[in-house]
Amino acid sequence: MRYLLPLMLIAAPLATPAVAQDLSGYGIAGDVGLGAEYGPGYLGSDDNKTSPWLILRNGTLIRPGQTADDADGFSILPSFGYQGRRDAKDYDALAGMKDIKRAGEVGLKVGYDMGPTSSYLTLRKGFGGHSGLTGEFGASYRIDASDKLSFWGNVEAQYGNKKFNDTYFGVTPEESLTSRYGTYSAGGGIYGASIGLEARYSLTEKTAIVGEVEYQRLLGDSGDSPLVQDKNQPSVKLGIVRHFDFRF
């Protein structure tokens, strides 16, 4: 199911080109696609691995009379997230810990755009691997180097409630008996902060190559978890996206 929305969004601008040009109603625009990510194997890992990158980015609410490029103001949009599976057998540091299944996340994103500057706050509920609440708040600034190449500079903080942070940074009493760690509770709050640089190069009017370099630092009780082998969490992403823009 998590692939259904991106496929629908890719198909929408192809199936309804006339609607995409109609400025009379509200609409949604953004990029959707697939790529690869190279980064920590789990939150706090010092081992890196390559994994799929499901891309749904630059979501914008378009008002009547606006285009995606001048859609300033407040917006409320769906927010989707994903946490990969954590297999204890794959990492020496997790010996004796329980596995964590893949988790999907669904919620809302509140944003404010003003020219090249954007700010946002997201909140999502998890299902599958975790049942907690998590999200981000941050800001970005866009620089259009040419009609094909754009850059974004981002600053962001990531947070989770107690259920989320304890799932990924905590050690239960049962796990303390089977692992080398004592019982640990990370509690709720901000667990990380990051800075990043994104780039988007248009191949055609609707298709583009995107890349991202990010540095994340784990913070607070989550960063002090005995499961964290490295508080510094850099990652690199590369993918291809299709731009969607349709009206209701």
pLDDT tens for 166-181 read: 999 999 999 999 999 9
pTM: 0.84
Averaged confidence pLDDT in the chain: 89
DSSP 94: G
Give the tens place of pLDDT for each residue, 43-94.
999 999 999 998 988 777 777 766 666 668 888 989 999 999 999 999 999 9
* Best CA proximity match to 92, nearest among 167, 130, 42: 42
Task: Map out the domains of the chain with their CATH numbers.
Answer: 4-247 (2.40.160)
The pLDDT of residue 12: 40
Please check the confidence at residue 3 and state whether its pLDDT lies above 50. Answer: no
DSSP 100: B
Please check the confidence at residue 239 and state whether its pLDDT lies above 80. Answer: yes
Close Cβ partners of 218 (under 8 Å, ≥ 6 residues apart) = 43, 44, 191, 192, 228, 231, 233
Q: Report DSSP letters for 21-70, one per residue.
A: T--SS-EEEEEEEEEEEEEESSTT-S-EEEEEEEEEEEEEEEPTT--GGG
Single-letter residue type at 162? K
